[in-house]
Amino acid sequence: MTFPGGTSISRLTVYTGACADGLEGGTPHLHTASTEAYVVVGGRGALQTLDMNGLRETELSAGSTVWFTPGTIHRAINKGGLEVVVVMSNAGLPEAGDAVMTFPPEIVADPDRYREAAALPISGPVGGPVGGPAADVEEAVARRRELAVEGFLRLAGDPAELRRFYDSAVTLVRPKVAGWREIWESTVAQETRRTAEILDALDRGDGSHLQRSALMESPPQQRWGMCGHLRAHDVAHPIVH
């Protein structure tokens, strides 16, 4: 059984280090099929969002809870120790390529150039030795972020550019949709069907599912994310106690 509601969860430490525009934080991107939520557990910062209604900045501090739908370009800004619990709908889709970063239009319009710009070298552990694999990844993460910020700043002032970006994003992800549907069927749709079956059983006075209860656990896995260092959890393959 996947995480409740067919969602996924991770803990995010937002990147530091100033970008070309002087702000510290993550890589601007959007999700084409998934809604994302931030539950702030520490520090302070802001969430920059861009959609057809324009650019918006929402202040974040411990206790802030915000979420945004597919198509909302978002950029986490770190103003001091920003720590977030991230909840994603459609468990597994974001990891399967649902995110599209805001690289300049000539890159987003070319699938090969986009893949090259988005790729990271084989990862060493977060916080690994200076000069080791982690340092190589950190440099690549910074380059990728700068490129996405460059594109983000161009999109922010031009609705026509944003519409073209949306078109390019759809073209990039379209070949993946069949695989995404399989993931969705085995997580969100399966959880929905299971709840319907439980409600039917309860309506009949049948509580046999209560005897099949279980405790599940998913240890954290450190990853280099787009917005910061992630401590992610494999919610599709938990340890069943």
The pTM score is: 0.91
Exposed, middle or buried by CB within 10 Å (0-12, 13-18, 19+), for 41? middle
pLDDT in tens, 146-179: 999 999 999 998 999 999 999 999 999 999 999 9
Contact between 60 and 40 under an 8 Å Cβ cutoff? The reply is yes
SS3 66: strand
Within 10 angstroms of residue 157's Cβ, the number of other Cβ atoms is: 10
Predicted confidence at residue 118, as pLDDT, reads 94
How big is the CA angle at 124 (ends 119 and 127), to the nearest 5 degrees?
A: 115
* Mean predicted confidence (pLDDT) in 130-139: 70
**Which pLDDT belongs to residue 123?**
60
User: Which superfamily does CATH assign the domain made up of 4-205+220-230 to?
Assistant: Jelly Rolls (2.60.120.10)
| pLDDT value of position 129 | 44
Query: Is the model's pLDDT at 239 over the cut of 80?
Result: yes
Task: Give the confidence band of 5 by pLDDT, cuts at 50, 70, 90.
Answer: confident
CA distances, 102 to each of 71, 99, 161, 216 (Å)? 11, 10, 11, 37
Percent of the chain scoring above 70 in pLDDT? 95
Residue 33 has pLDDT above 70, yes or no: yes
Count CA atoms within 13 Å of residue 91 on its CB side: 24
Centre a 10 Å sphere on the Cβ of residue 117 and count the other Cβ atoms it contains.
Answer: 19
Evaluate if residue 133 carries a pLDDT over 80.
no
Cα dihedral 195/1/175/99 (nearest 10): 100
- Which parts of 91-147 are beta strand (E)? 99-101
Amino acid residing at 193: R
Other beta carbons within 10 angstroms of residue 43's beta carbon come to 17
Give the least confident one: 103-107, 194-198, 235-239.
235-239
121 neighbors 107 (Cβ within 8 angstroms): no
Q: Give the C-alpha separation, 8 to 15, whole Å.
A: 21
Asked whether the predicted pLDDT for residue 89 surpasses 90, the reply is yes
What per-residue confidence (pLDDT) applies to 125? Answer: 52
Average pLDDT for 71-78: 98
pLDDT of residue 130: 42
- For the chain, the farthest-separated pair of C-alpha atoms sits apart, in whole angstroms, at 64
Tens digit of each residue's pLDDT (9 = 90 or more) over 177-187: 999 999 999 99
Compute φ and ψ for 54, nearest 5 degrees: 110, -170
Percent of the chain surpassing pLDDT 90: 83
3-state secondary structure (DSSP) of residue 212: helix
- Residue whose token pair is 């340092």: 135
